[in-house]
Chain A
Amino acid sequence: SLAGFGNLMQDVLWCFSQVKGTIDIGVTEADIISTVEFNHTGELLATGDKGGRVVIFQREQESKNQPHRRGEYNVYSTFQSHEPEFDYLKSLEIEEKINKIRWLPQQNAAYFLLSTNDKTVKLWKVSERDKRPEGYNLKDEDGRLRDPSMITTLRVPVLRPMDLMVEATPRRVFANAHTYHINSISVNSDYETYMSADDLRINLWNFEITNQSFNIVDIKPANMEELTEVITAAEFHPHHCNTFVYSSSKGTIRLCDMRASALCDRHAKFFEEPEDPSNRSFFSEIISSISDVKFSHSGRYIMTRDYLTVKVWDLNMENRPIETYQVHDYLRSKLCSLYENDCIFDKFECVWNGSDSVIMTGSYNNFFRMFDRNTKRDVTLEASRENSKPRAILKPRKVCVGGKRRKDEISVDSLDFSKKILHTAWHPSENIIAVAATNNLYIFQDKVN
Chain B
Amino acid sequence: QDVQEKETVIPERAEEAKLKAKYPNLGQKPGGSDFLMKRLQKGQKYFDSGDYNMAKAKMKNKQLPSAGPDKNLVTGDHIPTPQDLPQRKSSLVTSKLAG
Partner-B contacts on A (CB < 8 A): 20-22, 30-31, 33, 47, 49, 51-53, 55, 75, 78, 80, 83-84, 86, 90-96, 118, 180-181, 199-200, 224-230, 249-250, 278-279, 281-286, 289, 332-336, 339-340, 439, 441
Q: Does B90 contact A (CB under 8 A)?
A: yes
Using CB atoms, name the residue of chain B closest to A198.
B40
| Whole-angstrom distance between the Cβ of B5 and the nearest chain A Cβ | 12
CA distance A249 to B90 in the complex (A): 31
B15 in contact with A278 (CB, 8 Å): no
Task: Please name all residues of chain A whose beta carbon is closer than 8 Å to the beta carbon of B88 when the two chains form the complex.
Answer: 84, 86, 93
Whether B98 lies near A75 (C-beta < 8 A) is yes
Q: How many A-B residue pairs have CB under 8 A?
A: 134
B43 engages A95 (CB within 8 Å): yes
Q: Give the residues in chain A near B92, CB-CB below 8 Å.
A: 80
For B98, list chain A residues within 8 Å (CB): 55, 75, 78
Among A31, A93, A230, which residue has its beta carbon within 8 angstroms of that of B39? A230
A192 to B49, alpha carbons, bound, how many Å? 46
Question: For residues 53 through 99 of chain B, which have their beta carbon under 8 Å from a beta carbon of chain A?
Answer: 88-99
Q: Which residues of A contact B16 (CB under 8 A)?
A: 281-283, 335-336
**Contact status B91-A30, CB under 8 Å:** yes
**Does B12 contact A284, Cβ atoms closer than 8 Å?**
yes
A96 and B14 CA atoms in complex are apart in Å by 40
Per the bound structure, the CA–CA distance linking A387 and B26 in Å amounts to: 43
Interface string of B1-45 (1 = CB under 8 A from A): 000001000111111101110100010001111011101101111
Min distance, Cβ B10 to any Cβ of chain A, angstroms: 6
Given the interface pairs A92-B45, A118-B43, A281-B10, the reply to whether A333 lies near B97 with Cβ below 8 Å is no
Residues A22 and B43 in contact, CB atoms below 8 Å apart: no
Is there an interface contact between A283 and B37, defined as CB atoms closer than 8 Å? no
**Given the contacts A279-B10, A332-B11, A335-B11, A249 and B36 also touching, CB distance less than 8 Å:** yes
B96: A residues at CB distance < 8 A: 21-22, 31, 439
User: Nearest A residue to B27 by beta-carbon distance?
Assistant: A282
Taking a contact as CB atoms under 8 Å apart, the answer to whether B90 and A228 are in contact is no
The CA-CA distance from A92 to B88 in the complex, in Å, is 13
Is there an interface contact between B6 and A250, defined as CB atoms closer than 8 Å? no
A92 — nearest CB in chain B belongs to which residue? B43
The 9 closest A-B pairs by CB, nearest first: A285-B31, A51-B91, A281-B12, A333-B11, A335-B15, A332-B11, A83-B90, A336-B15, A78-B98
Q: Give the contacting residue for A286; candidates B31, B46, B90, B97; CB below 8 A.
A: B31
Distance (Å) between the CB of B51 and the closest chain A CB?
Answer: 13
27 contacts between A and B (CB under 8 A): A20-B97, A22-B99, A31-B96, A33-B97, A51-B90, A52-B90, A78-B95, A93-B43, A95-B43, A180-B40, A181-B42, A181-B43, A227-B40, A230-B36, A278-B6, A279-B10, A282-B20, A282-B26, A285-B30, A286-B30, A332-B12, A332-B15, A333-B14, A333-B15, A335-B12, A335-B15, A335-B16
Cα distance, A15 to B47, chains bound together (Å): 52
Chain A residues closer than 8 Å to B26, beta-carbon distance: 282
Question: Which of A21, A30, A93 sits near B45, CB closer than 8 Å?
Answer: A93
Are B10 and A227 in contact, CB atoms less than 8 angstroms apart?
Answer: no
| Complex interface: chain A residues within 8 A of B45 (CB) | 86, 91-93
| Known contacts A31-B96, A49-B95, A283-B15; is-contact A94 B90 (Cβ 8 Å) | no
Cβ contact within 8 Å between A249 and B31: yes
User: How distant is the Cα of A58 from the Cα of B49 in the complex, in angstroms?
Assistant: 49
Does the CB pair B19–A336 fall under 8 Å? yes
